[in-house]
Structure 1
C-alpha cells in the first residue's frame, strides 16, 4: 500500500466538453461552482457554461488578449473594432466534492498567446498624418486563406485614408499578396 496518493490534475467537467470536438490546449474556470469555463483549442476560444449554449470565437477574429493578475481578468479584443471586448473573470479554483481545487492560469495564457500569434502572418505599423497609430496585419483565416486587417479601420480624413491604403499595400507586399 502506497504511503501517499497522487491526485490527478483537475480538468474541465466532461459534461461541459461534450460539444467540443478539438483538443483543449488550456482552460480556466469562470465560476467556483465549476459551471462555466473558457477553453482554448487550436481553432477557437470557446466559452462553456451550464446555463447557456457554448460560444466559439475563431482566433482569426481576435486582435489581442491581455491578463491583469490583480483582478484575475483576461481581456480579449477583436479585429472588429465595433465589437465590445470579451472580459473573462477567472476564479482561483473550483469546488469539487467539498474541496476547493486551485487552478493555474498559465497553460491557458500560453495557449491564448500562441493561438493569437499563430493567426497573424505579418504585421506592419505606422503613424497616420492625424497622429493616430495604425497597424495592418495579414492573418490566416480558418480555411488557410490570407486577409488583411487594419487598425483603425478608417482614418480621420483623406490623408489618413491614403496612409492606410499604403500601409495595407506594405502588409500585402510583405507576404507576396497582390498590392492593387
Structure 2
C-alpha cells in the first residue's frame, strides 16, 4: 500500500487563536501563510495573529475545487458577497475539501425547488445555523420576471419548505 504525504499539522500558535467552538475537523495550509480550518460550525481562516474570517456553514452555498489553478472557491448564499478564494499549499487537499462539502451539506435540513414559467430555477433550503436554529434561504439561478404571479409561486414554495420542518409560515 502506498501512503500519500500527510497534511502538515496546524501550528500551535494558529490553533491557540481559534475559539473553543472551532475545534478543527480538517485544515489546509494556504500559500499566503494563513490556514483554512473546517470546524463543526464554521469555516475559519486564521494565522498566527488570529482569526481573519469566520464563516458559519449555513452562509456557504458551495465550494468548488479547481485542481488546475490550485484554488478552492467558496461561494456564499448571498450572491452579492464576493466569493472567498483559498489557495492551499497541498495540490490535492481532498480531506479538507471533502470535510467542507460534508459540513455544508450537513447544514441543509430540507430542500424544495421549482422552475419558474420565465425560466429561472428557484431553490428554498431550510438550514440549521451553528446554534441549532432553523432558517429558510431562497436562491435563484437565472433571471426572475418579478411579476406578482412569480412572487406568489416563490412565496408558496418557501411556505411549503418551512411547513415541512415545522417553521412558521
TM (norm. structure 1) is 0.79
Match of 1:162 among 137, 152, 156: 152
Q: Which residue of 2 aligns with 1:121?
A: 109
1:61 aligns with one of 59, 69, 79: 59
The SS at the match of 1:76 is strand
SS at match of 1:152: strand
> Which range moves more in the overlay, 12-21 or 46-55?
46-55
Residue from 122, 127, 134 that aligns with 2:122: 134
Q: How far apart are 1:119 and its partner, in Å? A: 0.8
Residue 147 of structure 1, aligned match among 124, 135, 142: 135
2:30 matched to 1:30? yes
Give the paired residue count.
161
The alignment partner of 2:75 has SS state of: strand
2-structure distance, mates of 1:104, 1:48: 20
Report the TM-score, using the length of structure 2 for normalisation: 0.84
Moved over 6 A (4+): none
Q: 2:93 aligned with 1:105, yes or no?
A: yes
Compared CA separation, residues 169 and 175, structure 1 to 2 (3 A): same
Quote how far apart the aligned CAs of 1:51 are: 6.8
What is the aligned-residue RMSD (CA, Å)? 2.4
The runs of 5 or more residues in structure 1 that have no matched partner are 1-6, 93-102
Partner-residue secondary structure (3-state), 1:110: helix
CA distance in 2, matches of 1:50, 1:19: 7
Give 1:90 shift. Answer: 1.8
CA change 1:11–1:160 in 2 (3 A) is same
Deviation string, structure 1 residues 136-156 (Cα, Å, up to 9, x no partner): 000112221111000139943
In the alignment, structure 2 segments of 5+ residues that lack a partner are: none
